[in-house]
Amino acid sequence: MNEFEWLRQTRALREPVSPRRDLWHAIDAALDGAASTTPAPRRSTAQRVQGWLLAASFAGLSLFAGSLAVHLRDRPLATAATSAAPDLERWRPSDPRLAGAAVEFDAANMELRQAMEQAPHSPALQRLLYRMQKQQSQLRQLEHQAG
């Protein structure tokens, strides 16, 4: 087989082909016959118990998630943020190379405080506060090492 025959055969595949006989009558007859002779399937006791167990586990999981959400909502998260915030304000490095970082930390601390007043229970703001404290602690260690 050469390339031209191969191209001719592939072009022939594009054209629609009708079946030799109508298949829908046979399909309808088979479905009607199967529907009239087959009784409705019955669920076994094990399947019913399994369904109830699945529903009960879903209800228990929903109850657990709801109680966890209520518990976390009522927990005071802002106390840790406000108690650590004055510590961030007091840092005044004696090294002039770190003075710019101290100014940036003061500005970030002020913005973070304003944001936490609007949303005191925000986990994202808590993470930002933790990250800022960690960075400031690292800079304090650098200042201490530099003498």
Instruction: Please give the model's pTM, rounded to 2 decimal places.
Output: 0.36
Q: Are 102 and 140 in contact (CB under 8 A)?
A: no
pLDDT tens, residue order, the chain (147 aa)? 789 898 888 888 888 878 788 888 888 888 887 766 656 667 788 888 898 999 999 999 999 998 888 887 766 554 444 444 444 456 677 777 777 878 888 888 888 888 888 888 888 888 888 888 888 888 888 887 876
- The tokens for 114 are 């304003």
Beta-sheet strands, E only, within 29-142: none
Give the per-residue pLDDT at 38.
Answer: 58
User: DSSP of 46-95, one letter per residue?
Assistant: HHHHHHHHHHHHHHHHHHHHHHHHHHHHHS--HHHHHHHHHHHHT---SS
Domain residue limits, the chain: 45-75, 78-146
